[in-house]
Protein backbone atom coordinates (compact mmCIF):
# COMPACT_ATOMS: atom_id res chain seq x y z
CA UNK A 1 0.00 0.00 0.00
CA UNK A 2 1.53 3.30 -1.01
CA UNK A 3 -0.64 5.66 1.04
CA UNK A 4 1.42 6.61 4.06
CA UNK A 5 -0.22 9.78 5.33
CA UNK A 6 -0.94 9.63 9.03
CA UNK A 7 -4.52 10.50 9.90
CA UNK A 8 -4.40 10.05 13.63
CA UNK A 9 -3.09 12.57 16.10
CA UNK A 10 -1.98 10.39 18.96
CA UNK A 11 -3.53 8.94 22.09
CA UNK A 12 -5.89 10.50 24.62
CA UNK A 13 -7.08 9.41 28.06
CA UNK A 14 -10.72 8.36 27.89
CA UNK A 15 -11.32 9.67 31.39
CA UNK A 16 -9.38 12.93 31.92
CA UNK A 17 -8.67 13.76 28.27
CA UNK A 18 -4.90 14.16 28.72
CA UNK A 19 -3.19 13.76 25.34
CA UNK A 20 -0.30 11.31 24.82
CA UNK A 21 2.07 10.83 21.89
CA UNK A 22 1.48 7.62 19.88
CA UNK A 23 3.76 5.35 21.88
CA UNK A 24 3.44 1.83 23.26
CA UNK A 25 1.46 2.96 26.32
CA UNK A 26 -2.11 2.14 27.32
CA UNK A 27 -2.87 3.67 30.74
CA UNK A 28 -3.05 7.33 31.77
CA UNK A 29 -0.32 8.06 34.29
CA UNK A 30 -2.54 10.63 36.06
CA UNK A 31 -5.91 8.90 36.44
CA UNK A 32 -5.20 5.31 35.28
CA UNK A 33 -7.88 5.68 32.59
CA UNK A 34 -7.43 3.75 29.31
CA UNK A 35 -5.81 5.53 26.38
CA UNK A 36 -7.59 5.72 23.06
CA UNK A 37 -6.51 6.73 19.55
CA UNK A 38 -7.53 10.24 18.43
CA UNK A 39 -8.07 11.00 14.75
CA UNK A 40 -7.98 14.09 12.60
CA UNK A 41 -11.49 13.69 11.19
CA UNK A 42 -11.24 16.84 9.07
CA UNK A 43 -8.25 15.47 7.22
CA UNK A 44 -9.95 12.09 6.84
CA UNK A 45 -13.18 13.66 5.55
CA UNK A 46 -11.19 15.54 2.91
CA UNK A 47 -9.64 12.33 1.55
CA UNK A 48 -11.97 9.43 2.25
CA UNK A 49 -14.98 8.74 0.04
CA UNK A 50 -17.15 5.67 -0.57
CA UNK A 51 -15.69 5.43 -4.08
CA UNK A 52 -12.13 5.48 -2.76
CA UNK A 53 -12.88 2.73 -0.27
CA UNK A 54 -14.69 0.62 -2.88
CA UNK A 55 -11.76 0.92 -5.31
CA UNK A 56 -9.39 -0.76 -2.86
CA UNK A 57 -8.64 -4.47 -2.29
CA UNK A 58 -11.23 -6.49 -0.33
CA UNK A 59 -9.54 -6.48 3.06
CA UNK A 60 -9.89 -4.39 6.23
CA UNK A 61 -7.15 -2.00 5.14
CA UNK A 62 -9.55 -0.40 2.68
CA UNK A 63 -10.41 1.78 5.74
CA UNK A 64 -6.76 2.55 6.36
CA UNK A 65 -7.35 6.24 7.20
CA UNK A 66 -9.39 5.12 10.21
CA UNK A 67 -6.78 2.69 11.51
CA UNK A 68 -3.80 3.87 13.60
CA UNK A 69 -0.65 2.95 11.72
CA UNK A 70 2.12 5.29 10.53
CA UNK A 71 3.23 3.76 7.26
CA UNK A 72 2.57 0.69 5.18
CA UNK A 73 0.72 -2.38 6.40
CA UNK A 74 3.38 -4.92 7.36
CA UNK A 75 1.28 -7.58 9.10
CA UNK A 76 -2.07 -9.02 8.06
CA UNK A 77 -2.65 -7.44 4.68
CA UNK A 78 -5.27 -10.09 3.77
CA UNK A 79 -7.34 -9.80 6.92
CA UNK A 80 -11.02 -8.85 6.85
CA UNK A 81 -13.76 -8.18 4.33
CA UNK A 82 -15.46 -11.39 5.42
CA UNK A 83 -18.91 -12.25 4.01
CA UNK A 84 -22.09 -10.59 5.27
CA UNK A 85 -24.73 -13.26 4.65
CA UNK A 86 -28.47 -12.64 4.31
CA UNK A 87 -29.74 -15.37 6.65
CA UNK A 88 -33.31 -15.92 5.47
CA UNK A 89 -33.75 -19.45 6.79
CA UNK A 90 -32.57 -18.60 10.29
CA UNK A 91 -34.62 -15.38 10.17
CA UNK A 92 -37.78 -17.36 9.49
CA UNK A 93 -36.96 -19.75 12.31
CA UNK A 94 -36.48 -16.79 14.68
CA UNK A 95 -39.62 -15.06 13.42
CA UNK A 96 -37.97 -11.95 11.97
CA UNK A 97 -37.66 -10.61 8.43
CA UNK A 98 -34.23 -9.13 7.90
CA UNK A 99 -31.34 -11.04 9.42
CA UNK A 100 -27.69 -10.85 8.43
CA UNK A 101 -24.66 -12.75 9.66
CA UNK A 102 -21.27 -11.09 9.60
CA UNK A 103 -19.22 -14.24 9.26
CA UNK A 104 -15.81 -13.61 10.78
CA UNK A 105 -15.43 -17.34 11.38
CA UNK A 106 -13.78 -17.34 7.96
CA UNK A 107 -11.41 -14.47 8.65
CA UNK A 108 -7.87 -14.94 7.32
CA UNK A 109 -5.59 -16.48 8.54
CA UNK A 110 -6.90 -17.96 11.83
CA UNK A 111 -10.69 -18.04 11.46
CA UNK A 112 -11.68 -15.46 14.06
CA UNK A 113 -12.19 -11.69 14.30
CA UNK A 114 -8.97 -11.49 16.32
CA UNK A 115 -7.04 -11.41 13.04
CA UNK A 116 -8.33 -7.83 12.70
CA UNK A 117 -6.97 -6.56 16.01
CA UNK A 118 -3.72 -8.46 15.59
CA UNK A 119 -2.93 -7.05 12.15
CA UNK A 120 -3.10 -3.52 13.60
CA UNK A 121 -1.26 -4.37 16.84
CA UNK A 122 1.56 -6.20 15.08
CA UNK A 123 1.96 -3.67 12.27
CA UNK A 124 2.32 -1.06 15.01
CA UNK A 125 4.74 -3.31 16.96
CA UNK A 126 6.95 -3.49 13.84
CA UNK A 127 6.76 0.31 13.51
CA UNK A 128 7.93 0.62 17.13
CA UNK A 129 10.85 -1.71 16.40
CA UNK A 130 9.84 -4.72 18.54
CA UNK A 131 11.15 -8.13 17.52
CA UNK A 132 9.01 -10.12 19.99
CA UNK A 133 5.23 -10.02 20.32
CA UNK A 134 2.99 -11.63 22.93
CA UNK A 135 -0.53 -11.75 24.36
CA UNK A 136 -2.77 -12.98 27.16
CA UNK A 137 -5.56 -14.93 25.51
CA UNK A 138 -8.64 -17.11 25.83
CA UNK A 139 -7.46 -18.87 22.64
CA UNK A 140 -8.36 -17.00 19.48
CA UNK A 141 -6.03 -14.07 20.09
CA UNK A 142 -3.19 -16.52 20.76
CA UNK A 143 -3.88 -18.30 17.44
CA UNK A 144 -3.81 -15.02 15.57
CA UNK A 145 -0.72 -13.55 17.26
CA UNK A 146 1.13 -16.82 16.63
CA UNK A 147 0.17 -17.03 12.94
CA UNK A 148 0.68 -13.38 12.07
CA UNK A 149 4.00 -13.27 13.96
CA UNK A 150 5.20 -16.33 12.03
CA UNK A 151 4.21 -14.73 8.74
CA UNK A 152 6.04 -11.53 9.65
CA UNK A 153 9.15 -13.23 11.02
CA UNK A 154 8.58 -12.01 14.59
CA UNK A 155 9.26 -14.07 17.70
CA UNK A 156 6.15 -14.70 19.81
CA UNK A 157 4.95 -15.88 23.21
CA UNK A 158 1.30 -16.61 23.85
CA UNK A 159 -0.09 -17.07 27.37
CA UNK A 160 -3.34 -19.01 27.84
CA UNK A 161 -5.28 -20.76 30.62
CA UNK A 162 -3.93 -24.34 30.63
CA UNK A 163 -7.42 -25.87 30.32
CA UNK A 164 -8.28 -24.43 26.88
CA UNK A 165 -9.75 -26.60 24.11
CA UNK A 166 -7.07 -28.73 22.36
CA UNK A 167 -7.96 -27.10 19.00
CA UNK A 168 -7.06 -23.69 20.38
CA UNK A 169 -3.74 -24.91 21.82
CA UNK A 170 -2.72 -26.76 18.66
CA UNK A 171 -4.01 -23.81 16.63
CA UNK A 172 -1.21 -21.73 18.18
CA UNK A 173 1.56 -24.34 18.39
CA UNK A 174 1.45 -25.11 14.68
CA UNK A 175 2.88 -21.65 13.99
CA UNK A 176 6.07 -22.35 15.95
CA UNK A 177 5.20 -19.90 18.72
CA UNK A 178 6.00 -20.33 22.41
CA UNK A 179 2.74 -21.40 24.08
CA UNK A 180 2.71 -21.00 27.86
CA UNK A 181 -0.24 -22.61 29.67
CA UNK A 182 -1.05 -21.00 33.02
CA UNK A 183 -2.83 -22.94 35.74
CA UNK A 184 -5.51 -20.37 36.40
CA UNK A 185 -8.25 -18.22 34.92
CA UNK A 186 -7.85 -15.76 32.05
CA UNK A 187 -7.77 -12.91 34.57
CA UNK A 188 -4.79 -14.51 36.30
CA UNK A 189 -3.09 -14.99 32.93
CA UNK A 190 -3.68 -11.33 32.16
CA UNK A 191 -2.27 -10.12 35.48
CA UNK A 192 0.83 -12.25 35.02
CA UNK A 193 1.30 -10.83 31.51
CA UNK A 194 1.24 -7.28 32.87
CA UNK A 195 4.09 -8.27 35.19
CA UNK A 196 5.99 -9.99 32.37
CA UNK A 197 5.49 -6.87 30.24
CA UNK A 198 7.26 -4.85 32.95
CA UNK A 199 10.28 -7.16 32.77
CA UNK A 200 10.59 -8.03 29.08
CA UNK A 201 10.69 -5.55 26.18
CA UNK A 202 7.88 -7.19 24.24
CA UNK A 203 4.82 -5.89 22.40
CA UNK A 204 1.81 -7.41 24.15
CA UNK A 205 -1.04 -7.13 21.64
CA UNK A 206 -3.71 -6.55 24.28
CA UNK A 207 -1.64 -4.76 26.94
CA UNK A 208 0.89 -2.12 25.85
CA UNK A 209 -0.41 -2.25 22.24
CA UNK A 210 -4.04 -2.20 23.41
CA UNK A 211 -5.06 1.25 22.07
CA UNK A 212 -3.92 0.21 18.56
CA UNK A 213 -5.13 -3.40 18.85
CA UNK A 214 -8.62 -2.33 19.88
CA UNK A 215 -9.05 -0.04 16.85
CA UNK A 216 -8.75 -3.08 14.56
CA UNK A 217 -12.21 -4.23 15.69
CA UNK A 218 -13.75 -1.14 14.05
CA UNK A 219 -13.15 -2.71 10.66
CA UNK A 220 -15.88 -5.26 11.39
CA UNK A 221 -18.38 -2.42 11.82
CA UNK A 222 -17.15 -0.52 8.74
CA UNK A 223 -17.62 -3.64 6.65
CA UNK A 224 -21.11 -4.31 8.00
CA UNK A 225 -22.19 -0.81 6.94
CA UNK A 226 -20.55 -0.98 3.53
CA UNK A 227 -21.88 -4.49 2.81
CA UNK A 228 -25.40 -3.36 3.74
CA UNK A 229 -25.07 -0.79 0.95
CA UNK A 230 -23.73 2.02 3.15
CA UNK A 231 -26.47 1.79 5.74
CA UNK A 232 -26.56 1.08 9.47
CA UNK A 233 -28.75 -1.76 10.78
CA UNK A 234 -31.46 -1.37 13.44
CA UNK A 235 -29.76 -3.96 15.68
CA UNK A 236 -26.35 -5.59 16.07
CA UNK A 237 -25.69 -8.47 18.46
CA UNK A 238 -22.06 -8.75 19.57
CA UNK A 239 -20.27 -11.36 21.71
CA UNK A 240 -18.37 -9.88 24.65
CA UNK A 241 -15.30 -11.06 26.57
CA UNK A 242 -13.13 -8.08 27.53
CA UNK A 243 -15.84 -5.85 26.04
CA UNK A 244 -13.64 -4.15 23.47
CA UNK A 245 -15.26 -5.36 20.23
CA UNK A 246 -18.72 -4.04 21.16
CA UNK A 247 -17.40 -0.56 21.99
CA UNK A 248 -15.51 -0.44 18.69
CA UNK A 249 -18.52 -1.52 16.62
CA UNK A 250 -20.22 1.54 18.05
CA UNK A 251 -17.22 3.75 17.36
CA UNK A 252 -17.13 2.52 13.76
CA UNK A 253 -20.78 3.46 13.20
CA UNK A 254 -20.23 6.86 14.85
CA UNK A 255 -17.19 7.54 12.67
CA UNK A 256 -18.96 6.61 9.42
CA UNK A 257 -21.84 8.90 10.45
CA UNK A 258 -19.51 11.78 11.34
CA UNK A 259 -17.73 11.41 7.98
CA UNK A 260 -21.14 11.32 6.20
CA UNK A 261 -20.33 7.96 4.64
CA UNK A 262 -23.66 6.68 6.02
CA UNK A 263 -26.90 8.41 6.98
CA UNK A 264 -27.37 8.94 10.70
CA UNK A 265 -29.33 5.99 12.07
CA UNK A 266 -29.81 4.78 15.65
CA UNK A 267 -28.41 1.23 15.79
CA UNK A 268 -29.18 -0.62 19.01
CA UNK A 269 -26.08 -2.52 20.07
CA UNK A 270 -26.72 -5.65 22.14
CA UNK A 271 -24.13 -7.70 24.01
CA UNK A 272 -23.99 -11.48 24.51
CA UNK A 273 -22.13 -13.45 27.17
CA UNK A 274 -22.48 -16.99 28.55
CA UNK A 275 -24.66 -17.50 31.60
CA UNK A 276 -21.88 -18.56 33.97
CA UNK A 277 -19.55 -15.74 33.01
CA UNK A 278 -21.62 -12.68 32.28
CA UNK A 279 -20.44 -9.73 34.37
CA UNK A 280 -21.37 -7.16 31.70
CA UNK A 281 -24.80 -8.60 30.88
CA UNK A 282 -25.65 -8.97 34.58
CA UNK A 283 -24.84 -5.29 35.17
CA UNK A 284 -27.02 -4.26 32.21
CA UNK A 285 -29.90 -6.37 33.49
CA UNK A 286 -29.53 -4.99 37.00
CA UNK A 287 -29.37 -1.43 35.68
CA UNK A 288 -26.01 -0.59 37.27
CA UNK A 289 -23.06 0.91 35.44
CA UNK A 290 -20.45 -1.02 37.40
CA UNK A 291 -20.01 -4.78 37.05
CA UNK A 292 -19.12 -7.40 39.63
CA UNK A 293 -16.15 -9.50 38.44
CA UNK A 294 -16.78 -13.24 38.14
CA UNK A 295 -14.11 -15.08 40.13
CA UNK A 296 -14.36 -18.51 38.53
CA UNK A 297 -15.98 -18.62 35.07
CA UNK A 298 -17.64 -22.00 34.47
CA UNK A 299 -18.92 -22.32 30.91
CA UNK A 300 -18.26 -24.16 27.66
CA UNK A 301 -17.83 -20.71 26.09
CA UNK A 302 -14.16 -20.45 26.97
CA UNK A 303 -13.38 -17.76 24.38
CA UNK A 304 -15.68 -15.33 26.24
CA UNK A 305 -14.69 -16.45 29.76
CA UNK A 306 -13.27 -13.21 31.09
CA UNK A 307 -14.47 -12.54 34.63
CA UNK A 308 -12.99 -9.06 34.94
CA UNK A 309 -13.42 -7.40 31.54
CA UNK A 310 -10.97 -4.56 30.84
CA UNK A 311 -13.58 -2.61 28.85
CA UNK A 312 -16.57 -3.78 30.86
CA UNK A 313 -17.55 -0.29 31.99
CA UNK A 314 -17.50 1.07 28.44
CA UNK A 315 -19.35 -1.97 27.11
CA UNK A 316 -22.18 -1.33 29.59
CA UNK A 317 -22.21 2.32 28.51
CA UNK A 318 -22.34 1.34 24.82
CA UNK A 319 -25.29 -0.96 25.38
CA UNK A 320 -27.21 1.53 27.53
CA UNK A 321 -26.55 4.61 25.41
CA UNK A 322 -27.57 2.91 22.15
CA UNK A 323 -30.75 1.44 23.64
CA UNK A 324 -29.44 -2.12 23.41
CA UNK A 325 -29.66 -4.90 25.96
CA UNK A 326 -27.63 -7.84 27.22
CA UNK A 327 -28.45 -11.54 27.17
CA UNK A 328 -26.63 -14.48 28.71
CA UNK A 329 -27.81 -17.86 27.39
CA UNK A 330 -26.86 -21.05 29.22
CA UNK A 331 -24.64 -23.77 27.78
CA UNK A 332 -27.59 -25.72 26.33
CA UNK A 333 -28.87 -22.64 24.52
CA UNK A 334 -25.34 -22.02 23.22
CA UNK A 335 -25.18 -25.51 21.74
CA UNK A 336 -28.64 -25.04 20.25
CA UNK A 337 -27.41 -21.77 18.74
CA UNK A 338 -24.40 -23.49 17.17
CA UNK A 339 -26.72 -26.14 15.71
CA UNK A 340 -29.13 -23.53 14.35
CA UNK A 341 -26.29 -21.73 12.54
CA UNK A 342 -25.18 -25.06 11.11
CA UNK A 343 -28.55 -26.47 10.12
CA UNK A 344 -30.19 -23.26 8.88
CA UNK A 345 -27.27 -21.36 7.36
CA UNK A 346 -24.44 -23.82 6.78
CA UNK A 347 -22.15 -21.93 9.14
CA UNK A 348 -20.04 -23.81 11.68
CA UNK A 349 -19.40 -21.40 14.52
CA UNK A 350 -17.51 -21.72 17.75
CA UNK A 351 -19.25 -21.31 21.10
CA UNK A 352 -19.18 -17.51 20.91
CA UNK A 353 -21.45 -17.61 17.84
CA UNK A 354 -23.81 -20.00 19.63
CA UNK A 355 -23.96 -17.46 22.44
CA UNK A 356 -24.96 -14.72 20.00
CA UNK A 357 -27.73 -16.85 18.47
CA UNK A 358 -28.96 -17.82 21.96
CA UNK A 359 -29.02 -14.13 22.84
CA UNK A 360 -30.92 -13.06 19.71
CA UNK A 361 -33.55 -15.72 20.34
CA UNK A 362 -34.18 -14.20 23.76
CA UNK A 363 -34.16 -10.64 22.39
CA UNK A 364 -36.79 -11.53 19.79
CA UNK A 365 -38.92 -13.41 22.33
CA UNK A 366 -38.86 -10.49 24.75
CA UNK A 367 -39.82 -8.05 21.97
CA UNK A 368 -36.59 -6.06 22.27
CA UNK A 369 -35.97 -6.86 18.62
CA UNK A 370 -39.04 -6.20 16.47
CA UNK A 371 -40.12 -8.53 13.66
CA UNK A 372 -39.64 -5.94 10.92
CA UNK A 373 -36.31 -4.54 12.06
CA UNK A 374 -32.92 -5.30 10.50
CA UNK A 375 -30.54 -7.37 12.61
CA UNK A 376 -26.86 -8.23 12.20
CA UNK A 377 -25.31 -11.08 14.20
CA UNK A 378 -21.55 -11.03 14.69
CA UNK A 379 -20.22 -14.58 14.36
CA UNK A 380 -16.62 -14.24 15.42
CA UNK A 381 -14.88 -17.63 15.44
CA UNK A 382 -14.88 -21.05 13.73
CA UNK A 383 -16.49 -24.19 15.15
CA UNK A 384 -13.65 -26.58 14.38
CA UNK A 385 -11.74 -24.88 17.21
CA UNK A 386 -14.32 -25.84 19.85
CA UNK A 387 -15.50 -29.30 18.79
CA UNK A 388 -15.70 -30.58 22.38
CA UNK A 389 -18.68 -28.27 23.04
CA UNK A 390 -20.68 -30.64 20.82
CA UNK A 391 -19.41 -33.89 22.30
CA UNK A 392 -22.32 -36.21 23.06
CA UNK A 393 -24.74 -33.67 21.54
CA UNK A 394 -25.01 -35.21 18.08
CA UNK A 395 -26.02 -38.83 17.37
CA UNK A 396 -23.35 -41.22 16.06
CA UNK A 397 -23.87 -41.63 12.31
CA UNK A 398 -25.11 -45.08 11.19
CA UNK A 399 -22.56 -47.48 9.76
CA UNK A 400 -23.43 -50.07 7.11
CA UNK A 401 -21.60 -52.64 5.02
CA UNK A 402 -20.69 -51.47 1.48
CA UNK A 403 -23.90 -52.93 0.06
CA UNK A 404 -26.87 -51.34 -1.68
CA UNK A 405 -29.19 -53.70 0.20
CA UNK A 406 -27.92 -52.41 3.55
CA UNK A 407 -28.45 -48.85 2.42
CA UNK A 408 -31.99 -49.57 1.23
CA UNK A 409 -32.77 -51.12 4.62
CA UNK A 410 -31.33 -48.09 6.37
CA UNK A 411 -33.43 -45.69 4.30
CA UNK A 412 -36.61 -47.66 4.74
CA UNK A 413 -36.01 -47.88 8.52
CA UNK A 414 -35.48 -44.11 8.64
CA UNK A 415 -38.58 -43.30 6.63
CA UNK A 416 -40.86 -45.57 8.68
Ligand X SMILES: Cc1ncc(COP(=O)(O)O)c(C=O)c1O
Judged by CB under 6 A, does residue 138 bind ligand X? yes
252 forms part of the interface with ligand X (CB under 6 A)? no
Contact call for residue 239 and ligand X (CB under 6 A): yes
- Nearest CA to 348 out of 327, 378, 379 is that of 379
Contact 197, 136 (CB under 8 A): no
Among 4, 5, 16, 411, binds Zn ion (CB under 5 A): 16
Q: Does 107 bind ligand X (CB under 6 A)?
A: no
Selected binder of ligand X within 245, 262, 300, 319 (CB under 6 A): 245
| Nearest-approach distance from CB 206 to ligand X, in angstroms | 8
The answer to the question of residue 205 lying near Zn ion (CB under 5 A) is no
Q: Identify whether the C-beta of residue 222 lies closer than 8 Å to the C-beta of residue 253.
A: no
Query: Residues 25 to 54: which contact Zn ion by CB under 5 A?
Result: 28, 30-31, 33
Question: Applying CB under 5 A, does 170 fall inside the site for Zn ion?
Answer: no
Q: Is 15 one of the binding residues for Zn ion (CB under 5 A)?
A: yes
Say if residues 291 and 337 touch (Cβ distance below 8 Å).
Answer: no
What torsion, rounded to 10 degrees, do the Cα atoms 103, 378, 77, 49 define? 110
211 binds, among Zn ion, ligand X, none (CB under 5 to 8 A by kind): none
Please choose which of Zn ion, ligand X, none residue 380 contacts, taking the beta carbon within 5 to 8 angstroms, the exact cut-off set by kind: ligand X
CB of 104 to ligand X, least distance (A): 8
Work out how close the CB of 391 gets to ligand X at its nearest, in angstroms, rounded to a whole number: 19
What is the spatial order of strands in the sheet that 203-204 belongs to? 178-182, 155-161, 132-136, 203-204
Among 82, 103, 123, 140, binds ligand X (CB under 6 A): 140
24 binds ligand X (CB under 6 A): no
380 lies in the binding site for ligand X (CB under 6 A): yes
Where does this chain bind ligand X (CB under 6 A)?
112, 138, 140-141, 239-245, 303-304, 350, 352, 380-381
Which residues sit at the interface with Zn ion, rule CB under 5 A? 13, 15-16, 18, 28, 30-31, 33
Amino acid sequence: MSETTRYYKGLKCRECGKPYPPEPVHVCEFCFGPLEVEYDYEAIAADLTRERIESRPANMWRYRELLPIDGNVSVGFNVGYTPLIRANRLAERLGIHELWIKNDSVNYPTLSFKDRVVSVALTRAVEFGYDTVACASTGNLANSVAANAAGAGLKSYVFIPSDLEPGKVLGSQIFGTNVVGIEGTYDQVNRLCSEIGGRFPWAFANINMRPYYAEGSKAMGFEIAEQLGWRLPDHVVVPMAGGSLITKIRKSFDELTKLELVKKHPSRIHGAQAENCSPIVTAVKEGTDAFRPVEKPDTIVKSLAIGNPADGFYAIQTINETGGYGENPGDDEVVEGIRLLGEYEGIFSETAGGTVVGAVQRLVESGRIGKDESVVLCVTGHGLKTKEALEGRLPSPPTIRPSLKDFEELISAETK
